[in-house]
Amino acid sequence: MKYNSSFFGIGTPLLALAMLVATPARAQDATVTAIPAPVEPNAIRLGTGGLKDATAPESWFRQYGVPMARNVSTATLTPFLPDPAKATGAAVIVAPGGAFLLLSMENEGWRVARALADRGIAAFVLKYRLKPTPPALADFDRLLTQTFANVGEPGSRLKPDEAAANMSDQIADAVAAISLVRARAKEWHVDPERVGMMGFSAGAMTTMVTTLTRPDLKLAFIAPIYGSMERVTVPAGAPPMFAVLASDDPLFAHKGFGLLDAWQEAKRPVEFHMYEQGGHGFGLGKDATTSTGWLDSFVRWLDTRGLLKGR
């Protein structure tokens, strides 16, 4: 099985592989261990179809102390709803990262969604379809090594405008998730006009290409968290953007801020937070760094934009 590493929109030495797959920055154990699929009683199938060229069923493993999924061929959406008494009416689709080979479901999905729900924001974790990987975990481990062996080479990263051509599955899954939340907005105490999307790493790429290719969705906001800073073609009426990056991110720091420039040139609202430390894949924040404050800043930003005004 061959993969073009440029599809992932990343580029970093192999030694940074752990960070590439968006694992918790503070964790230490890199051992990959197979685990049973966790119970996901609230997961809702999105009905976007299967995965072309799938080679194995969905499976789960544990690395860096958290569960991760791979070979996802059926997209689902899991709601994390706030207490109705403190629901603000705002909603966020949360897309975990993992280089499109796996999904860091706990670090960049469930934990983030629970934290948002605690703040009165309905959160919905999107388990989107991935590239197929070998059934055996040992072969998967070798594939990761082969895949990322040359990603540090020049030109190994695609810009979001270019990556969109190979992301029809992920875009379709995101569109279905947004549509489902709006269709069940009354049941979930959500304002359909205050639905946005947040993504981490590869999930940030999914968020961005969905925004670029489907401006008709009219998202209320987007939040790419440690995602590509490459310049994009901003569609008319693009949503307000809240972006986060660490200055020591080996993937996306020190490569310019074309994304921010493009948003500003299009006269669209943008807020950007760069933290001194955090690396890549820090989820809710790396311990003992200021990156732990990004979620509270995001919530304040939503509030100042009038998106937490209550139902």
What's the confidence (pLDDT) of residue 302?
Answer: 98
In this predicted structure, what is the pLDDT of residue 63? 85
CA nearest neighbour of 69 among 42, 47, 108, 37:
37
User: What is the predicted pLDDT for the residue at 150?
Assistant: 55
Per DSSP, what are the bridge partners of residue 273? 244
Instruction: Categorise residue 267: left if φ over 0, alpha if ψ from -120 to 50, beta otherwise.
Output: left
- Please report the pLDDT score of residue 143 as a whole number: 79
CA distance linking residue 279 with residue 249, whole number of Å: 4
**pLDDT tens digit at each of 311 positions of the chain:** 333 333 343 333 333 343 344 444 444 567 789 999 999 999 999 999 998 888 899 999 998 889 999 999 999 999 999 999 999 999 999 999 999 999 999 999 999 999 999 999 999 999 999 999 999 998 988 877 776 665 544 455 668 998 999 999 999 999 999 999 999 999 999 999 999 999 999 999 999 999 999 999 999 999 999 999 999 999 999 999 999 999 999 888 888 999 999 999 999 999 999 999 999 999 999 999 999 999 999 999 999 999 998 75
**206: part of which helix (H) or strand (E)?**
helix 202-213
Alpha-carbon separation of residue 12 from 92, 100, 108, 150, 190 (angstroms): 30, 16, 20, 8, 40
The arrangement of secondary structure in 5-304, i.e. its CATH architecture, is 3-Layer(aba) Sandwich (3.40)
Round to whole Å and give the CA distance between 162 and 237: 21
